[in-house]
Amino acid sequence: MFRRWLLALLARVGLIVLGLCCCLLLIYLLACKPASHSRQQSLLWYGSATNKEGYMALLQEREDSHRHYINSLTKQIVQLKEALQERTQQLQESLEKAKTKGILPQGLESLHKTPTQYDLKEFFRSQLNQAEVNSGAKLLSEYAVIPFDTFTLQRVYQLETGLTRHPEERLVRKDRRDELIGTVETALHALNGPHQHRDSSRRKYTYSPSDFIEGLTRTERDKGTVYDLMFKGNNPQDFTQLLLFRPFGPMMKVKSESVDTGNMLINIIIPLSKRSDAFRLFISNFREVCIKQDGRIHLTVVYFGRDQIDQVKAMSFTLIQLNEEFSRGRGLDVGARAWRRSQNVLLFFCDVDIHFTADFLTSCRLNAEPGKKVYYPVLFSQYNPSIIYSNQTLLPSVQQQLVIRKETGFWRDFGFGMTCQYRSDFINIGGFDRSIKGWGLEDVHLYRKYLHSKLMVIRAPSHGLFHLWHEKSCADELPADKYKMCMQTKAMSEASHSQLGELFFKREIEAHLNSRKPMNRGI
């Protein structure tokens, strides 16, 4: 009974579903029926006014349909934006709560920041970490070092000069001038900004362009440009160093710190053998700069032999005598290790024919830092005054000869003997190679040790450090490689390229001038 009733019910339902399908099919056919041939003709007929009105009506209908569709999509986009904004706000609130409770999962800290801003900061941070700014990079040789340019508000002192440029140039190029002056302005803004006045006990001084001493800059082509700027402080012994980095984008402030150089004693170490006249000239400069102007200098002279020792004793502070063959590296090493005070003193390895200014001593203090930086200044080497001033009756004084020009000297970028480094770094690096005797190479070996370490090597031209010209003799007992180096240095120190050319072609020049005399008389 139940089975029959169920079959009848299924049959009725089947008939009803079939009827509904037929109705839907009929409605579909009516709706999709193409327009008649006569209507298509009337719409395509161009001249009839009635057909034109129909065509316009059809266009209006389709325009209204598209407008309704666009409005519908616009509403959907607005709704999706509102929903997304709401979900973002909920997510940020959840992250803030999780961050407050200390349960924020690792790697999700950046979700509450704007993605583009976060990516940009991460890129700049990666450029800063890769650049040689906060720590030194291990380099293969001395030729891999990118030297710094030294600059003031008026001039740039650079090594990459070639034969057509000057070792010291005014800020003539607009892009270079705008770059360096803009950097100083950025530094002043950072030093004088509102955030600097929060700590009233630390910040009571307003910096101006006149407080800028000098800056160091260099560019690593694949990373960016670093600027190390030095400013005067409240008193003559207070300085501020500001390190800026431009990762081929907006300027970034790396750090700003006050540096008190009042207690930074410099121990100048000079290895010496004979040459009492040169030492007398050095002591004259020492008294003027170190005693009268600076007052925080100790002098150590390591003297080889006994000749002229009495004259040296009358002028030096600490004298160490070695009765052995002269070795520059040996003398400097003995002088550095002879320091017995507990203070980690700053060493300045110097030669007797070096002339320096008080500004250089400041650069020495600011560019060397124990465990972090060693300073290898590039000094300006003087040409032979008898050649430079051959057209003058009397030679100018030494002070008048200390002019940085293409005709007066050159940057001795192949020399690494003058350097400022802390005694602790010198001891930890192993000091000089004591097996080297006589002249040359001991400074290069020490320089390479620092390049292979994690310490940063500051290599930059110094406008306050000069090598005075003196007659140079290359001993016959030197090995072939050292003798060749000595002769090359001797040749480079005589005169500039053009001056040597005039000496070499002197006969041709005089012959040309003599040949022109009859012609001039005829005129």
CATH number at residue 390: 3.90.550.10
Query: What pLDDT score was predicted for residue 198?
Result: 55
Determine, yes or no, domain membership for 354: yes
CA 233 from centre of chain: 23
Determine, yes or no, domain membership for 318: yes
Determine, yes or no, domain membership for 86: no
Q: Are 408 and 401 in contact (CB under 8 A)?
A: yes
Please state, in angstroms and rounded to a whole number, the distance separating the CA atoms of residues 394 and 429: 48
Determine, yes or no, domain membership for 95: no
Question: pLDDT-derived band of residue 3, with 50, 70 and 90 as boundaries?
Answer: low
Predicted confidence (pLDDT) per residue in 271-297, tens digit: 998 888 899 999 999 999 999 999 999
pLDDT at 121 over 90: no
pLDDT at 256 over 70: yes
Query: What pLDDT score was predicted for residue 49?
Result: 46
Predicted confidence (pLDDT) per residue in 148-192, tens digit: 899 999 888 888 765 556 778 787 778 888 899 999 999 999 898
Predicted confidence (pLDDT) per residue in 394-413, tens digit: 889 888 999 998 889 999 88
Q: Does 349 lie in the same domain as 301?
A: yes
Query: What pLDDT score was predicted for residue 165?
Result: 63
Q: Are 285 and 292 in contact (CB under 8 A)?
A: no
**End position of a domain, from candidates 260, 275, 294:** 260
Query: What pLDDT score was predicted for residue 145?
Result: 85
> Per-residue pLDDT averaged across 307-315, rounded?
74
pLDDT at 33 over 60: no
Question: pLDDT-derived band of residue 39, with 50, 70 and 90 as boundaries?
Answer: very low
Q: What is the CA radius of gyration of the chain?
A: 41
Predicted confidence (pLDDT) per residue in 124-138, tens digit: 778 787 777 777 878
Q: Does 221 lie in the same domain as 184?
A: yes
Which CATH number covers residue 218? 3.10.450
Q: Does 327 lie in the same domain as 224?
A: no
Determine, yes or no, domain membership for 506: yes
Q: Does 390 lie in the same domain as 292?
A: yes
- Give whichever of 132-141, 200-209, 300-309 has the largest mean pLDDT: 300-309
Q: Does 250 lie in the same domain as 386?
A: no
Query: What pLDDT score was predicted for residue 6?
Result: 54
Query: What pLDDT score was predicted for residue 43?
Result: 41
Q: Does 345 lie in the same domain as 315?
A: yes
The count of domains in the chain is: 3
Helices 506-522, 497-504: crossing angle, 10 deg rounding: 70
- Give whichever of 61-70, 216-225, 226-235 has the largest mean pLDDT: 226-235
Q: Does 399 lie in the same domain as 339?
A: yes
Determine, yes or no, domain membership for 42: no
Please state, in angstroms and rounded to a whole number, the distance separating the CA atoms of residues 218 and 460: 9
pLDDT at 113 over 60: no
Q: Are 183 and 244 in contact (CB under 8 A)?
A: yes
Least confident stretch, 37-41, 158-162, 451-455, 504-508: 37-41
User: How wide is the angle at C-alpha 382 spanned by C-alphas 380 and 385, nearest 5°?
Assistant: 160
pLDDT at 14 over 70: no
Question: pLDDT-derived band of residue 11, with 50, 70 and 90 as boundaries?
Answer: low
User: For the chain, what is the mean pLDDT?
Assistant: 81
pLDDT at 232 over 50: yes
Query: What pLDDT score was predicted for residue 60?
Result: 76
Residues 6+ apart with CB under 8 A from 271: 302, 304, 326, 327, 328, 330, 331, 332, 335, 351
Q: Does 374 lie in the same domain as 237?
A: no
Query: What pLDDT score was predicted for residue 381?
Result: 92
Query: What pLDDT score was predicted for residue 166?
Result: 73
Q: Does 367 lie in the same domain as 341?
A: yes
Helices 37-44, 49-101: crossing angle, 10 deg rounding: 90
> Per-residue pLDDT averaged across 112-129, rounded?
69
* pTM above threshold 0.85: no
The secondary structure of residue 194, as a DSSP letter, is G
Least confident stretch, 32-41, 183-192, 349-358, 456-465: 32-41
Range of 509's domain? 479-514
Q: Which residues of 96-123 are buried (b: 16+ CB within 10 A; e: fewer)?
A: eeeeeeeebeeeeeeebeeeeeeeeeee
| Nearest by Cα to 291 from 315, 312, 274, 311 | 315
Determine, yes or no, domain membership for 401: yes
Query: What pLDDT score was predicted for residue 161?
Result: 62
Tell me which H or E stretch contains 380. strand 373-382
The residue written with tokens 């997510």 in the block is 91
Residues 6+ apart with CB under 8 A from 262: 237, 238, 296
Phi, psi values for residue 285, rounded to 5°: -65, -35
Percentage of the chain surpassing pLDDT 90?
35
What is the four-CA torsion angle of 77, 79, 83, 86, rounded to 10 degrees?
110
> Per-residue pLDDT averaged across 97-115, rounded?
56
Query: What pLDDT score was predicted for residue 338?
Result: 93
* 373 or 66, which is more confident: 373
The secondary structure of residue 272, as a DSSP letter, is E
pLDDT at 457 over 80: yes
Query: What pLDDT score was predicted for residue 453?
Result: 94
Q: Does 355 lie in the same domain as 245?
A: no
Q: Does 438 lie in the same domain as 295?
A: yes
* 12 or 123, which is more confident: 123
Q: Does 449 lie in the same domain as 500?
A: no
Determine, yes or no, domain membership for 30: no
Tell me which H or E stretch contains 182. helix 174-192
Query: What pLDDT score was predicted for residue 48?
Result: 45
